[in-house]
Amino acid sequence: MGLGNPGPEYENSKHNIGFRVIDLWCRDLGLSLKSLRFRAKHIRSAFRGNNIIFLCPLTFMNLSGESVRACADYYALETNRILIIHDDLDLPLGRIKVVRDRGPGGHKGVSSIIRHLGSAGFCRVKIGIGHPRYGETVENYVLAPFYADEKGLAKKAIRLAVNACELFVLEGVESAMNQINCQNLVNKEEKN
């Protein structure tokens, strides 16, 4: 379940990186999110023998929990089988962290999900977006596109996040944590 805000004005914002991960993964699989059930774009499909529900809430970020809860209830999903993909200000761009059973860390979309599920027992792929460089407010920063010199690194981070999601599905959260949390795309960029 990728987090973001609906509408073309938010499409390329840092806050919508969760949507972009789901879109890329679906594109890789030849899928498109069509159904509008659960106040979300979603599709149910198979991935290497596993049933998956891809979901992007259309409730706006701060109400993401409404959509996630409706989907979880409908499909009787166990909380620990839910993977939320979202931006994280406290990680630099180029870092991704897979976690489980954590608090919201100030992320209002995650807060909404915890509140609606009544638990923080789900897993997450947190994608670093870093902090504002030019004195922007946090709100303006997360709702803006990446800086011009960050766009290539952001694309690589989105690709790595798709890899993290695949590992979660195929090998479990521990394997995803072990393989993804140690990677730093910034270091790889500097070596090239």
Residues 144, 87: Cα–Cα separation, whole Å? 13
15 is catalytic: yes
Residues 140, 63: Cα–Cα separation, whole Å: 19
Q: What are phi and psi of 31, to 5 degrees?
A: -110, 160
Among candidate residues 15, 42, 107, 116, the one labeled active-site is 15
Q: Identify the helix (H) or strand (E) that includes residue 111.
A: helix 108-117
Tell me how far apart the alpha carbons of residues 131 and 88 are, in angstroms, rounded to a whole number: 9
Q: Give the distance, in angstroms, between the CA of residue 166 and the centroid of all CA atoms in the same chain.
A: 13
Active site residues: 15
